[in-house]
Structure 1
Amino acid sequence: MVMSTGAGGAQPAAGKFPSRPLTLVVPYPAGGSNDNAARLLARKLSDALGQPVVVDNRSGASGTLGAEHVARAAPDGYTLLYASSSFLTASVLRARPVYDPLKDFVPVARVSRAQFVITVGKHVLAKTLQDLIAQARTHPGKLSYGSSGIGSINHFATEAFAESAGIRLTHVPYRGMTPAMQDLAGGHVDIVLGSVPSTMAQVKSGRVRALAVTGESAAPQLPGLPIAASAGAPGFTFDAWSGVLAPAGTPQALIDLLGTEVALALKDPALRAAFEAEGASLAPMGSAEFSRILATELQRFRQLAQKADIRAE
C-alpha cells in the first residue's frame, strides 16, 4: 500500500497503486523521436506496474496543449507527461503562458539527454569551430543559421552558442529540420545546430561539414568529432532532455514509486540501444535533482529569449 503525504504527515492511500491504466501524454505527433521514446518507456513501465501505460498524443501549439492537459489533470499519479526541453521554451515564448513549468508540475524523473551537432555548409570556408567563430567575429551578422522554427530548441541552442562565442549570426527559420538541412547542403544558409539524427545523413554523405558537438562528451554516432567546449567555445554546452512529469500536488509517495520504476526501466540494455539509435543517451535523474535542472534551464531560456528577442510566431 502506498503512502501519501498530507498536512498530518504520512497517511495510507486508499487501495493499491496502480489499480487501473495510466496515461502518458506526449505533446507531439505520433511517429517522432519523442513519441518513439515515450512508447518504449511506456511498455517497460506497463510490465513493471502491472497495468497498461497508454500513450496519448496531444500535439499542437508547440507542445503546450498536451502540457496544459496534464497540468489540469487530477494529481493522482494516473496522468503523466513525457516532456522535452521545449516544455520550457514554449512557456518562455508566450506573454501569457498556459502553464507554469515549475508551479504546475512536479518532476518524476529525467530520462535522456541529446546533444546537438554544429554543422556548416560546404561553401563555408571554416574547417574547424575556431575558424567559424573567427569568421563570424570578422563579419558580424553575415553568417546565417537555419533552425526548425522560431522558438525551437535548436533556435535557442544556436543563440546560446552565439552568446557564448561572442558572435552575431542571422537567423533563418524553417518549418522543420529537413528543409533547414537541405538548404544548408544547398548553400542557402551557413550553419545549422541540429540533433544527431537530423544531421547524420547529410554529414555522412559529405554534403555538410560537422565541426563539433555541444554536449559534455563525444557523440558515439560521430566518433572523432570534438566537443565545442574544447574546440573553440570554452564553457559552452547545450543539450536537450526528456523526462516524465506529473501534475503539481501528486503525493510524494507516488512520485517516488514512479521515479523508481522509471530508473529501473532505464537499466534495460535494449532500451538504451533504442534511445541511442534516436541520438539520445539515457541520463536517469531523480525528482529533486531534476527539479533543480528545470529551474536553472528555465532561467537560462528566459535570459536567452530576452537578449536574442526570441518571440512566439
Structure 2
Amino acid sequence: MTIFSRRALLGASLAAPLAAPRLASAQGQTIRIVVPFGPGGSTDAVARLVSPGLTQRLGATVVVENRSGAAGSIGADIVAKARPDGLTWLLTFDSHSTIPALLRNPPLDVLKDLDPVMLIGGSPYAVATRPDKPFRTMADVVAAAKARPDGVSYGSTGNGTIGHLSMIRLGEAAGARMTHVPYRSGGLAVNDAVAGHVDMMIGSAALMLPHIAGGSLRPLLQFGPQRLSRLAQTQTAAEAGFPGLEAEAWWAVFAPHGTPPAMVTRMNAALRESLSEERAKTVMTETQQARLILSSPEECGSFFRQQVATWGGLVRAANIQPD
C-alpha cells in the first residue's frame, strides 16, 4: 500500500513549476533515485511524490528504484559505488544513521562514501494496533506485556530504526518486555499490523495516518513533543508517563562521494522547489502531518553526524543485530 493517493501525486506533478536549474550532464538521460527499502513505505512514497517535479526541473527522466536489504545498506552501497555524475542519488530513512553500529562489516562508510544533499523533513513515530485488538491505550499494552513477558508483539520497519530503538527505550522505562518483529519496509509492516499478524506496530505518523483515518488501525501513542492535529485524541509519550521519550522518523537525500558541488546544489534546489509546490507541500504537511525542513547540504551533514552518534550508541548499548 502506498501512503499517498494517485490523485495527490498526479496533482503535485502537474502543478510543479519549471524554475530550478538543470543538471547539464543529465539532460535527456535517466536519473535514478535509489530507495533502500521495499515499495509501500514512507521513504518510497516520498521519493515517488518528488520524482515528477524533479523530472520537470532537471530535464531528465527520474525513476525510483527500490533496493532493499541489510538495514538499507544494500541500496546505500549501490549509490556509494555509482559514478558521481549526477545520475544516481539516494533517498533514505532514519536507519541510515545506525548502519555503522548495526552491521559488523558494513559495505560502505556512510559518513565518507556519500555526500549529504538535503534533509527533507520528518514525522513523529506513532504506535497503532488493529481495532479488534484488546488495547485502547499504551497503558493497556504495558499491562499485557507485564502479565505475559514477550507475549505482546510489535512490528517495525527494521532492526536499528529509530522506531525500534524507541520501543526498546519505552519497554525499559515501563519494565515490560515485548517481542520485536522487524520488516524490510514500512509497507510490509503496516500490512501485517492491519492483518493482525502482530499485536501492534511502530512507524512514522506519515506511514500510518491513512490507515488510522480509514479505520484499519487504532492509534495508541505518538512520540512527538505535542499531539499532531490528526491524532488529537492520542497521548504523547510524555503524557503517557514517559517524559523525554521523543522520536521522529526522517528522510534525507545523499549523493555518491565526489559528486561535483554544483550538481549537489542544483539537486538541492530542485528538491526544494518540488516539495515547496503547493500540492506536494499539502500532501506532506497536512495529509501526512510531516515536518518539512528542506535543509542545505551542510545542515544535512551536521544533522546526520549527530544522528550517527546518538542512535548508534543506543544500538551498541542494546546489542541489536541485523534483521
TM-score range, shorter chain: 0.7 to 0.9
1:37–1:259 Cα change, 3 Å: same
Query: % of aligned pairs identical?
Result: 27
User: 291, 305, 310: which is aligned to 2:315?
Assistant: 305
Equivalent in the alignment of 2:302: 292
Q: Secondary structure at the match of 1:285?
A: coil
Equivalent in the alignment of 1:179: 192
1:252-304 Cα deviation digits (max 9, x unpaired): 23222221221222211211233354563433222112112211222222222
**Whole-Å separation in 2 of the counterparts to 1:47 and 1:203:** 32
Greater helix proportion: 2
**Whole-Å separation in 2 of the counterparts to 1:298 and 1:140:** 34
Answer whether contact 1:117 1:199 (CA < 8 A) is retained. Answer: no
**Bigger Rg, which one:** 1
- TM superposition outliers: structure 1 runs of 4+ over 6 Å: 136-140
**Whole-Å separation in 2 of the counterparts to 1:202 and 1:263:** 29
Equivalent in the alignment of 2:242: 233
1:150-195 Cα deviation digits (max 9, x unpaired): 50523223124345x36342223155423245448xxx74x54233
Kindly report which structure 2 residues correspond to 1:201-212, keeping only aligned pairs within 5 A, or say none. 201=211, 205=215, 210-212=219-221
Q: Does 1:214 align with 2:227?
A: no
1:290–1:150 Cα change, 3 Å: closer
1:286–1:230 Cα change, 3 Å: farther
Q: Any gaps of 5 or more consecutive residues in structure 1?
A: 1-14
Equivalent in the alignment of 1:55: 64
Q: Does 1:123 align with 2:134?
A: yes
User: 270, 273, 276: which is aligned to 2:282?
Assistant: 273
Q: Does 1:99 align with 2:108?
A: yes
1:245–1:214 Cα change, 3 Å: same
**Whole-Å separation in 2 of the counterparts to 1:106 and 1:117:** 30
Answer whether contact 2:223 2:245 (CA < 8 A) is retained. Answer: yes
TM-score norm. by structure 2 comes to 0.75
Kindly report which structure 2 residues correspond to 1:130-279, keeping only aligned pairs within 5 A, or say none. 131=139, 135=143, 141=149, 144-148=152-156, 151=159, 153=161, 154-163=163-172, 165=173, 167-173=175-181, 175=183, 176-177=188-189, 178-180=191-193, 182-183=195-196, 189=199, 192-196=201-205, 197-198=207-208, 201=211, 205=215, 210-275=219-284, 276-278=286-288
**Whole-Å separation in 2 of the counterparts to 1:249 and 1:296:** 22
**Whole-Å separation in 2 of the counterparts to 1:199 and 1:51:** 33
1:118-149 Cα deviation digits (max 9, x unpaired): 3467534xx655x4698599779567341236
TM-score norm. by structure 1 comes to 0.77
* More displaced stretch, 101-110 vs 45-54: 45-54
Deviation, structure 1 residue 85: 1.3
1:172–1:28 Cα change, 3 Å: closer
Answer whether contact 1:107 1:246 (CA < 8 A) is retained. Answer: yes
**Whole-Å separation in 1 of the counterparts to 2:85 and 2:310:** 31
**Whole-Å separation in 2 of the counterparts to 1:75 and 1:28:** 22
**Whole-Å separation in 2 of the counterparts to 1:30 and 1:137:** 32
Answer whether contact 2:204 2:248 (CA < 8 A) is retained. Answer: no
Deviation, structure 1 residue 112: 2.6
Q: How much is the aligned-residue C-alpha RMSD, in angstroms?
A: 3.3
Q: Does 1:109 align with 2:118?
A: yes
1:233–1:46 Cα change, 3 Å: same
1:19-68 Cα deviation digits (max 9, x unpaired): 44322222233454322321221211221222322323333444322211
Greater strand proportion: 1
Answer whether contact 1:89 1:151 (CA < 8 A) is retained. Answer: no
